[in-house]
């Protein structure tokens, strides 16, 4: 478990978590050992009429992350994430990316069993 993705309003550890998953501005991918970051822009998903969550899930799956920290996830995206073996922690809105990662490292976030937002 070395890389995790965090939905973010901007590219750095001190940006706010974007509560949305599929339509998040982007993802900060954090290497837990080095705390090095990489930013994935999610603009491509934002323009989709449907399936933004699926596309976003594909994006972070390709980046090889094992876990996602975010606010809300819909059922379809959750299915893709689960199938790709990515664990999900929800309801982390209001924190910065760094705060969320630290919480995660200290074992204070709970892994979700299901999506916390109804699909359309």
The residue within the footprint of other proteins, chosen from 16, 19, 58, 103 (CB under 8 A), is 58
Q: Is 28 in the site for other proteins (CB under 8 A)?
A: no
Helices (H) and strands (E) in the chain, counts: 4, 5
- In sequence order, what are the beta bridge partners of 3? 31
> Considering the complex, what minimum distance in angstroms separates the CB of residue 55 from other proteins?
6
Q: Is 83 in the site for other proteins (CB under 8 A)?
A: yes
Apex CA 62: angle with CA 102 and CA 64, to 5°? 40
CA 70, chain centre distance (Å):
5
- In sequence order, what are the beta bridge partners of 26? 8, 41
CA distances from 48 to 12, 18, 42, 117, 119 (A): 25, 18, 11, 19, 16
Choices 5-13, 24-32, 54-62, 98-106 (CB under 8 A): range interacting with other proteins:
54-62
Q: Is 117 in the site for other proteins (CB under 8 A)?
A: no
The residue within the footprint of other proteins, chosen from 13, 17, 40, 54 (CB under 8 A), is 54
Which of 19, 75 has the CB closer to other proteins? 75
List residues binding other proteins (CB under 8 A).
Answer: 48-52, 54-55, 57-58, 61-62, 76, 79-80, 83-84, 120
């Amino acid at each position: 478990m070395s890389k995790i993705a965090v939905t973010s309003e901007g590219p750095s550890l001190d940006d706010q978590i974007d509560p949305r998953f599929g339509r998040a501005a982007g993802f900060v991918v954090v290497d837990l050992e080095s705390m090095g970051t990489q930013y994935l822009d999610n603009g491509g998903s934002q323009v989709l009429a449907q399936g933004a969550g699926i596309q976003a899930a594909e994006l972070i799956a390709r980046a090889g992350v094992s876990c996602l920290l975010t606010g809300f996830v819909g059922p379809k995206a959750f299915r893709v994430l689960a199938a790709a073996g990515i664990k999900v922690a929800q309801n982390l809105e209001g924190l910065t990316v760094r705060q969320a990662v630290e919480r995660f490292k200290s074992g204070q976030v709970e892994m979700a069993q299901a999506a916390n937002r109804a699909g359309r």
